[in-house]
Amino acid sequence: MDIWIIYLIIICLSVVLWLFSFFSIWKTKRYATILFDLLPFYPLLAVVGYIAIITCTILWLDFLGWIFPLVFGMLIAILLVYLSIKWIKGYRLKVYVEFLDKLKDDKYSVKILSDYFVHKKINPEMVNVFIRHDIDLSLRRFSKMIEIEKEKGIKSTSMIRLHSEKYSFEKALPLIKQLNAEGYEIGYHYEVLAQTKGNKEQAIQLFTQELAELREIVPIAVVAAHGDKYKNRDIWSLLNQKELNVYSAYDMKRDMYLSDAGGYDFTRRYGHHLFEELDKAKKGDVVQILIHADWWF
């Protein structure tokens, strides 16, 4: 085969790989949303992506003479250092530990969501912080974060799903019972519209039924909709909230909302940067912080 055809194939392949890698690294969250099973490995996938980019670029630019690979190699090295620093400061448990230490300061009062909705406990002299966990996929990762909170003596509210793709509700039972006994709050992370494929009447019925089932195990005062292709949150306004005696985490009149939803993404603030925002909170402010343990490693 003519050597030029081989070169052409290599170039085409490298361009495709380059585009794929670039897109994948830029939108790392895609790995998590489309390929749930790969979730624990997404940092690894990003590293594979970086290597692919470097390899492809060198192959590609080899045609243009040695000066181009040299210049591009240097640029990529700088980019890698920059990304590594971001990664270290990102969704790492160490960052969460530091954050909880910061919350121990006299400036902050950390509470559970029912303190706000049911007991109306707002301290005008402190920053009122409400940590909410949405337990979407990994019980193991969630348990790790809760263990850290226990060590630091900080309480939070955790929204449990009854139909997670990655854990069974039965398996979560001992954990939520134990958390409830220890003063941690459990909420209902509903997804009734997704279950009923958009049928609102059935969804309302299902909500009532599942809430009652959950209440046989632990008290439930607060709920939050799980994000899905069906907008589960749409069902909230159709429910008889008074009769059900339940509040939505989204109805909190908060001065600040910090969320890690969407996960690791270079175009947004995360990890360290997420918590740095808290410095802007003033006395008497109400701050809700949404954490998905799935993103933290």
Residues that bind Zn ion (CB under 5 A): 134, 136, 226
Smallest distance, Zn ion to C-beta of residue 1, A? 53
Smallest distance, Zn ion to C-beta of residue 288, A? 15
Terminal CA-CA length for the chain: 48
Smallest distance, Zn ion to C-beta of residue 227, A? 5
Residue whose CB is less far from Zn ion, 14 or 132: 132
**Alpha-carbon torsion, ordered 253, 259, 261, 265, to 10 deg:** 140
Residue whose CB is less far from Zn ion, 152 or 233: 233
Residue whose CB is less far from Zn ion, 111 or 161: 161
Q: Which residue is nearest to Zn ion (CB)?
A: 226
Residue whose CB is less far from Zn ion, 134 or 149: 134
Smallest distance, Zn ion to C-beta of residue 208, A? 20
Separation CA 133–CA 153 (nearest Å): 16
Residue whose CB is less far from Zn ion, 57 or 248: 248
Q: Cα 164 vs. chain centroid, distance in angstroms?
A: 15
**Residues 6 or more apart in contact with residue 291 via CB below 8 angstroms:** 96, 131, 132, 133, 134, 145, 156, 260
Smallest distance, Zn ion to C-beta of residue 257, A? 15
Residue whose CB is less far from Zn ion, 136 or 149: 136
Residue whose CB is less far from Zn ion, 134 or 260: 134
Smallest distance, Zn ion to C-beta of residue 156, A? 15
Smallest distance, Zn ion to C-beta of residue 89, A? 25
Nearest C-alpha neighbor of 171 from the set 203, 204, 143:
143
